[in-house]
Every structure is written in structure tokens, then in C-alpha cells.
A = this chain, B = another copy of it.
Amino acid sequence: MTTWSRLGEKSKREVRLARAFLAAVAEPPAPALAGFVARHGPCRSVELVQRGKAPPDVLSEVEARFAHVSAEQLLAATEAAGARLVVPEEPEWPSSAFQDLAGGREVGLPEVAEPIALWVRGREDLATALDPAIAVVGARAASGYGEHVAAEFGHGLARAGFTVVSGAAYGIDGAAHRGALAAGGRTVAFLACGVDVDYPAGHGRLLRAVAHQGAVVSEYPPGTEPRKHRFLVRNRLIAAAGRATVVVEAGARSGATNTAGTADALGRPVLAVPGPVTSKNSVGCHGMLRSGKAVLVTSTAEVLEAVSPIGVPAPVEDVGEQRRTDRLGPHAQRLHDSLRGMDGASAEELARDCGLPLGEVRALLPELELSGFAVRTERGWSVAAR
């Protein structure tokens, strides 16, 4: 890939044309075609495919669309959509994010393959935009609680310098993107349709804002409509792009648990936000936490801790409100408890109440008096007013 800058414009265009054709001719993920292209390169692969000289599994993947794809028309449509095609040969390709997908078979993900090319809407260099990134995903039918947390996490991660990757769906995804946008940070949406298709329909404005502050990305050519299975296929790109995947809310059967499973298989930490056990929206998160597939996180700081165990300042442990009596030793605390319960008592009475030896009580009382915890009056010892 280091030779890209030395290629002439004509050669670069040839690679793009070949990749556009290959990306469009098979329905992703196309593991046979992806492996074939990795072996032969894009231009030679197109030639072999067009002459029918590819293995049967490759030909089976391309057969249905083979005669209907025009690479020239694809690139024209890409330009018309205000998008560009990013290919693995160029420096903009986020190879560190996607290289693990090529080894999908080895990690138990037979249907996972690296994308052949990506369509991108957005000014920012894609490799830069995804480094570093964290995926924040969850249910479409989210609760107000879930959307609140997703927005908080999106905001916090963006402020910490992480790009927030998600899927632009209603619910958790949208809230995560919006949180990052509100923080003035970067956010990237991976779509299950063409980058020129406003899906969901109500998120057209959000998608434009995401393109403006990051990128809208898809492995589907412009004009491709969303299909149910494409959401699951797209999820692997979200899982691979993030250094970790945070699931904010997920029902028992949610696409987010699929993204989490892929992230886990790819060796990325899976983090899940808990919620009320009375909420259907948290059943998926709690299931992942119970099975040990996810680590519980309650804040942005805990997400950051999971992705960079060193180099991040240890979060201040929330030990709750400090009490004034914390600095007293256990016996002095016990005596202080008795003082609070008895108004005007002798040392003997206090010793009986707290069960400490009289000598120790006699030694502790002046200490408590000096440090402002006890007062001596005519009626005896009492707790000092604060």
C-alpha cells in the first residue's frame, strides 16, 4: 500500500474502477471474493471474474449481478452523491480497524470478510477519523434513560478525543452520534444502505451533520436500499472500527448483541451499561454481563479505562461522602456512638454502654474533647454540637 503515492492518476482510477466493480458485484460479506481479491489484486481479479476463470465459490457470489454492474457508472454516481470511494490500496484506508476482519474464519466468524471498498461522505480522512474510535450501539426502541446515557457517553468519549462510531439508527445510535456532535467531536456512521440514502428517513439531517463532523460510510454502492440482513452485515464494520464496543441498551433480541458478539470475536472489549431489571431494554445488556461476555460500565471514565488501561489517569474512586468521624479510630468511634446516644454521662456509664474498658474511655474522652467531638458539662460528657 506504500506504493499508492507513486501510482499515476490513471492507475489509481483503474484500481478504483476495479474495486467499485468488485464491491458492487457481490452481496457483502463475500468471503470467497474477498479472499480472491486479496490473492490476485483488484484489477487481475476483475479480469479473471469477467473471463469466468475464478473458482466456483467466487463465481457463485458474483453470478447474479455480474452482467449488470458498470464501474464507470458507479464512480459517476459516487461523485453525484457527493461521496468518494476509498480503497485498501490508499493511505486513507483504515487498515488497523479492518485487518482483523480478513481473519474472520479463524476467530469463528465464517461469514465475516473485510470490505472490498468503502463509500464515504465527509471531508475527513477516514483513517484519521477512525483513530482512535469507540463504538456506541444499542436498541432502536430505546428508553429515555438509554438515550440519555448514550448521549452522555457520546459526548464524553468525543471530549476525550475518541471518535464515536455507530449505525445512525433511531434510539441509542442517534443519541450517541448527537452527543458527539454536541461536544464538537468526531463521529462516524456506518450504514446498511448507500451513503446517499437517508435511512432512517427522519435522520437525514443527522446524517448530514455526521458527514460534516466525521464521515458517513458504507460498503454498499450509492442507491443501495437497506435490507434486514444488511444491518447485521454492517454491524461487523462498527465492531471492527471501534477499539471497544459499548452497548447502552439492548433487548433480548437486538442487533446490538450481534455487534457485541463480533467485537468480542475480534478481541475488542465489549462493555455494557446496566439498567433497571424491570426494563425490557436492558435485558440484552444484563445477559451479556451475566455470561461474562461484557464488562459493566457506568461512565465514560470506565470506558476509557477499558480501552487504555495504562496512560489514563485512574478515575477517582467514588467512596461517597466523607464523614467527619472517619478519622477516628474504631474504639473512639464506638465511644462517640455512645456519646451521641447518651446526653450527659459519666465515664463509667459510657464504658458500660460501649463496652470498652474504663481506663481506655478515660483516655479517649479528653482526646475527643480536644478534637471537637465531645464536651464536658456539669451533667457529664455529651457529644459536641457540630
Contacts and interface: CB of A to CB of B under 8 A. Distances in A.
A227 B338 contact: yes
Contact of A227 (B68, B295, B334): B334
A229 B337 contact: yes
B286 A298 contact: yes
A137 to B, nearest CB: 16
Interface in A285-324: 286-287, 289-290, 295-299, 302, 318-321
Contacts of A338: 227
A333 B229 contact: yes
A356 to B, nearest CB: 6
Copies of this chain in its oligomeric complex:
2
A302 to B, nearest CB: 7
A68 B351 CA distance: 11
A28 to B, nearest CB: 8
Interface residues of A, number: 59
B319 A278 contact: no
A355 B26 contact: yes
Given A68-B352, A149-B278, A277-B149, A253 B320 contact: yes
A358 B357 CA distance: 93
A158 interface: no
Contacts of A318: 252, 283, 287
Interface in A20-57: 26-27, 30
A227 B357 contact: no
B355 A27 contact: yes
Nearest to A226: B341
A354 interface: yes
B274 A296 contact: yes
B357 A60 contact: yes
A300 to B, nearest CB: 11
A304 to B, nearest CB: 14
B253 A354 contact: no
A287 B320 CA distance: 12
A159 interface: no
B277 A289 contact: no
6 contacts: A227-B337, A228-B340, A252-B320, A290-B295, A290-B297, A290-B298
Interface of A: 26-27, 30, 60-61, 63-65, 68, 145, 148-149, 225, 227-230, 251-254, 273-278, 282-283, 286-287, 289-290, 295-299, 302, 318-321, 330, 333-334, 337-338, 340-341, 351-358, 361
5 closest Cβ pairs, A-B complex: A27-B355, A253-B320, A274-B274, A252-B320, A64-B351
